[in-house]
Structures are given as C-alpha cells and as structure tokens.
Amino acid sequence: MINKLVEGIKKTEAPIVVGLDPTMKLIPKFIMDKAIKEHGETLDAAGAAIWEYNKGLVDAIAGLVPAVKPQIAMYEQFGIPGLVAYDKTVKYCKEKGLVVIGDIKRGDIGSTSTAYAIGHLGSVKIGNTVCRGFDEDFATVNPYLGSDGVNPFIDVCKEEKKGLFILVKTSNPSSGEFQDQLIGDKTLYHLVGEKVAEWADTHMGDDYSYIGAVVGATYPEIGKIMREVMPKSYILVPGYGAQGGKGKDLVHFFNKDGLGAIVNSSRGIIGAYQQEKYASFGEEGYADAAIAAVKDMKADIQSALK
Amino acid sequence: MINKLVEGIKKTEAPIVVGLDPTMKLIPKFIMDKAIKEHGETLDAAGAAIWEYNKGLVDAIAGLVPAVKPQIAMYEQFGIPGLVAYDKTVKYCKEKGLVVIGDIKRGDIGSTSTAYAIGHLGSVKIGNTVCRGFDEDFATVNPYLGSDGVNPFIDVCKEEKKGLFILVKTSNPSSGEFQDQLIGDKTLYHLVGEKVAEWADTHMGDDYSYIGAVVGATYPEIGKIMREVMPKSYILVPGYGAQGGKGKDLVHFFNKDGLGAIVNSSRGIIGAYQQEKYASFGEEGYADAAIAAVKDMKADIQSALK
C-alpha cells in the first residue's frame, strides 16, 4: 500500500492528501436542507448529508490527488449514522482508486490495540467466514502506550500489506506540553521518532516503509530533524493552510528524491467555496472550488520544492 | 456524574467497574450459534451476539456494581454492526442505573477533540434539534497531544456534568517506554499526573473531581505516588485479575476515606464461566458465573482495604 501511495504521488505530481473532515459549518446548506427534508432533524440527516457532500468531493478530486484522510472524529460526533457515512466514504474512495488514510489516532494496550487494528485494517472470522470492518489502507496511531500498544497494529499491517502513521509531533499549539519535554538530551518526540525508525525497518516497501509518522507543518524546524531521524518513513504533514503551515515550510519534510512527505489539507480544500478566493464557485460549486484549491496547493508545494 | 459514581460505590460497597469487552473467545457458543443461524456468518451476527451476551451480563450485575466500562475497540473490530451493539449497550446500561465509562482513549487536536467529546459525551444541533450520539457518562482520554487536546473534553464535561479518566500510567508491560522517561527529576506520567490535578481543580463534584485518571493495578508503587499527586481525582484502575494485579496491590490507589479508586475487571468477570473456579455454572450460566466473580472480587478488595 505504501508503494501504491508513492506511485500515486509520482503520477499525480501532488504529494497531497485531502482531509475529508465534514462539519456542520462546512456542509453546503442546500445539501443539509435536502437531508433534513428527507430524514427530519436527526443524526440520520447529518449522516446522509455528509455522504452526499463527500461523494461530490471525491468525484471531483479522484485522479488529482493520490489519497484522502477522513478524520473519524468528525463522523463519530454524529453517532452511528455518522460512522455509517464514514464507512461508505472509505469504501467509495477505495473504489475510486484513492488510498485511504483513516485518521483514527487509536492506541491501547496489546489485545485492545489488536481489536482496533482488526477493525480498521484487518479482518475477523465469523464462523468460517472472513469479514472486514472499516478496512482503511492506513491508520494513524497514538504511541503513548509504548511498543505493545503499537506492535499489534504493525502485525496486522504486515499481514495485510497496509501501513501506519504514528504521531510524533502534532500540529497543535500545545503539542509541546509533553512531546517537547527533554528526556536526557532528547525530546520525547525525538525518542518516539527513533522508535518509528526502528519500527519502519521491520516493514519495508520498495523504497519507503509501511510505517510512517505524523509531524505538523506548523513545526518546520522539527520536520527537518525528524526527516533525518526517520529516513525511510513517509511523513504525513497536517497543519498546512487553515492551521498556519505554508508551502515554503514544507521543504524540510521531503527527502532529496522529492518524496517522503504527504501534506494534508482539510478545510482549505473541502471548504474552499467558503473562502473569498473561491467564492465565485458558489455553494453549489463546492466540488469545483475544491478542484481549484487542490491545483493551487499543488502549485504552492511544487514551487517550494524547486 | 462523579457524585452518582461515588454514591453508587458507597451503596454497593463495591469500588468495581465491570469491563464489557466482548471477544469471539468470550461469547458463549450457544449465543454465537443462534446469531449465525439468524444472520449468517456476518458482522451482523457478531453484533447481535454481543448484544445478547451483554444484556445477560448487565441484567446480572446491575445493582451489584456501580459502573460498567465498555471498551469500544472490542466493538469497533466488528465495524458498524459492532458499534451498533456498543450504542445499544451504553443506552441499556444507563436505563439500568449503571454509570457508563466509555473506554475510548480518544485524543486529538482542538477542534477534533471537540468532535469526539460531542459524539461521546455531548450533543450536536441538527437544524433546531439537539441530538446525542453515544452519550456515555465518562470517557477515557489520551493526553499525548497536550492541553488543547484535553480541554475540549473538559469543556463538554462542564456543560454536561460528565467526567473523564485521563491516561497517566497504563497497565501494559511496555507502558514505561515513554511514560516512565525522566524529564528533569520527574517521569512523564508524573508530569501528566500533575496536569490531571490541575484539570481536576477546575471541575469539582461534591468531594471528588469530574476529572480522574487511569493508573494500572500492575504498578502499585506508582499508584501510591499518583494517589498523592492527584488527591481529588478518582483513579480508574485496570489490570486487576487477568493482567496480574492483585487485591493487596490495590490499597495504594485508595484515599484514607476508603474512596478515590474504582477497579476494573473485564475477562475475570464476563468470562468467569470459562475459569475452572466457576466452571460448574456452565456456558449457559455465564451471567451467574459473573455474579459469583463480582462477589469474590468485592471480598478480595474489601479484605485488602481493611
């Protein structure tokens, strides 16, 4: 799956993942109104609206970018109907040839991590039949519980040829509160990064490992250091755009081969139609606005990498 | 909700939370067979079996213990049908007067943590109607992302009079890999514990805070220290029984008032019928075996606290 991701990045020339993070504020009013008309003011209406919104976005961006990253929290907030929309979105994106990174940030003790890994990346046997739950291609994982919280995910990834992005340095302002603490002469995120490099060695694709890391665009200097600490890991870079990360900040996250990083944008693309720059598309043109925003982001990154 | 939990512990004299963590190995064969007969070898069969298994357990233990802790991973492994069983279980337990601790270990950056908090503890407005997703009473939270990952949960808890248990020191063997690292003269878990104490002060119930912590029974010496660091926080103690924690180890987690800790047992209770000690109940008597195991656990803890 890491090979498919790298190929997709080369083919589209866009090291971009689109964050499918639907919120009430982002869903166009005409879609929400229609859903409420059909389902009433219920969670089912929210689920139906998310699915229609996502379908329009996915149809627009498939072929332009290699991957999508649905943030499961944005679906989970609507309970079961929200998660049904998540499930449908994952399956639809895979049909369209997109690599799906489930942004689930799960992590627990051994047997519980195994259950998460099975539900999101693997399969479970019911009687003699192999059944699959959410079945994303990659998942994000929280390392706070240590190796025996992460290894069950890696084990399932090895069986399934799937991958992980492990949180190293997150993009939020207070990420330093624990992650930047000095342990001896190294920070906690540095220590986690070294561990990611070890894990990465155990599950290699052709040129890059199935085991990647998350490092926020909002901390480019840290990206530079972590790039060297984890040479074989793809870095998933959130925080571009709405959170303040800029194209020129991204250069440090890439290797000299022009690969090794994939940059996420969520609101900046799926909510582009709400920005002044793309306002002419109007609400009904939200998917076309997303296409324009993807193209602008691609140009921004390409000019930074030159 | 923390007041309801404390009252429940006093009333039942059982500082015990039953972990509703269904796995294929634990679900009695007669329940699984029936579900497969109705639904085929599908995830729907797993969901139906979990729901029947849980209902039997909950009917048995309601009144004996104050709280249950469904581990959402065990449901998520069966995709949407598993999560439907989780949702039904949470609602049924609340009807039965049990406090429900959703063991979800979520944690993300600001707006995403807000979405998780809304989905699990709060509500969302669809049109003009307030809708609720999973609606547990407490949730477990991972602190790796720092204050702005945790604060959105606390904000929702304040509105809803609900609570959290924040991971401080987990019960697994490799929890020390990051959590035990020395930062200056303190460990990371110590630093997180101090932060929990700060958060706890901002959202107090009558005697205890709505903001608690998770410290594993497998590390009793750490429990002793953390008990002092977080005097107003309830400590949720996993790792008793199957993971190796013993009654005598638990004394350090309690305050002098005999309160301040609630001990989890999952397999030890819901799978008691598979243990030699309770084998006479047979598979069909799994719920009665759970009652016997709860009573034994209660006696074990009470004798340790004397």
Q: Which of B106, B198, B190, B192 is nearest to B152 (CA)?
A: B106
pLDDT value of position A163: 98
Contact, B231 vs B211, CB < 8 A? no
Q: Is B177 on the interface with A (CB under 8 A)?
A: yes
**CA–CA min distance B286, chain A (Å):** 21
Q: Is A171 on the interface with B (CB under 8 A)?
A: yes
Contacts of A269 (CB under 8 A, 6+ apart): A18, A19, A61, A290, A293, A294, A297
Catalytic residue among A105, A161, A232, A248: A105
Q: Per residue in B9-53, pLDDT tens?
A: 999 999 999 999 999 999 999 999 999 999 999 999 999 999 999
Picking from A117-121, A130-134, A192-196, B239-243, which range would have the lowest pLDDT averaged per residue?
B239-243
- Give the CA distances from residue B246 to residues A269, B90, B304, in Å, rounded to whole numbers and listed in that order: 53, 28, 9
- Mutual orientation of helices A188-201 and A147-160 as an angle, nearest 10°? 30
Question: Is residue B242 scored above 80 in pLDDT?
Answer: no
Q: Per residue in A87-114, pLDDT tens?
A: 999 999 999 999 999 999 999 988 999 9
Contact, B291 vs B299, CB < 8 A? no
Average pLDDT over chain B reads: 96
- Give the CA distances from residue A124 to residues A128, B89, B119, in Å, rounded to whole numbers and listed in that order: 10, 21, 26
Nearest-by-Cβ selection for B87 from A24, A80, A113: A80
CB contact under 8 A, B78 and A143: no
The question of whether A105 is a catalytic residue gets the answer yes
Query: Rounded to whole angstroms, how far apart are CA atoms A75 and A90?
Result: 12
pTM value surpassing 0.80: yes
Q: Per residue in A26-53, pLDDT tens?
A: 999 999 999 999 999 999 999 999 999 9
Identify the band that residue A140 occupies on the pLDDT scale cut at 50, 70 and 90: very high
- Give the CA distances from residue A305 to residues A65, A248, A264, A302, in Å, rounded to whole numbers and listed in that order: 17, 8, 16, 5
Q: Which of B171, B199, B184 is nearest to B264 (CA)?
A: B171
What chain B holds in terms of domains, given with CATH numbers, is: 2-305 (3.20.20.70)
Secondary structure of B193-255 as H, E, C letters:
HHHHHHHHHCCECCCCECEEEEECCCCHHHHHHHHHHCCCCCEEECCEHHHCECHHHHHHHCC
Question: Is residue B246 scored above 90 in pLDDT?
Answer: no
Residue located via tokens 């964050």: A19
pLDDT over 90 for what percent of chain A?
Answer: 91
ipTM: 0.94
Q: Per residue in B78-135, pLDDT tens?
A: 999 999 999 999 999 999 999 999 999 999 988 999 999 999 999 999 999 999 999 9
Nearest-by-Cβ selection for B78 from A108, A113, A119: A119
Structural element, H or E, at residue A124: strand A124-126
**CA–CA min distance B84, chain A (Å):** 7
Between β-strands B138-141 and A163-169, what pairing exists: parallel, antiparallel or unpaired? unpaired
Q: Per residue in B220-241, pLDDT tens?
A: 999 999 999 999 999 999 989 7
CB contact under 8 A, A146 and B78: no
Question: Which residues from chain B sit within 8 angstroms of residue A76, using beta carbons?
Answer: 115-116, 119-120, 133-134
Beta bridge partners of A71: A103
Identify the band that residue A137 occupies on the pLDDT scale cut at 50, 70 and 90: very high
Question: Which residues from chain A sit within 8 angstroms of residue B116, using beta carbons?
Answer: 73, 76-77
Q: Is B84 on the interface with A (CB under 8 A)?
A: yes
Q: Three-state SS for A194?
A: helix
Quote helix, strand, coil % in chain A, to nearest 5. 55, 20, 30
Q: Is B180 on the interface with A (CB under 8 A)?
A: no
Picking from A125-129, B125-129, B229-233, B301-305, which range would have the lowest pLDDT averaged per residue?
B301-305
Q: Three-state SS for A67?
A: strand
pLDDT value of position B247: 82
Query: Rounded to whole angstroms, how far apart are CA atoms A76 and B113?
Result: 11
pLDDT value of position B192: 96
Contact, A228 vs A260, CB < 8 A? no
Q: Per residue in B181-220, pLDDT tens?
A: 999 999 999 999 999 999 999 999 999 999 999 999 999 9
CB contact under 8 A, A126 and B43: yes
Nearest-by-Cβ selection for A115 from B43, B74, B176: B74
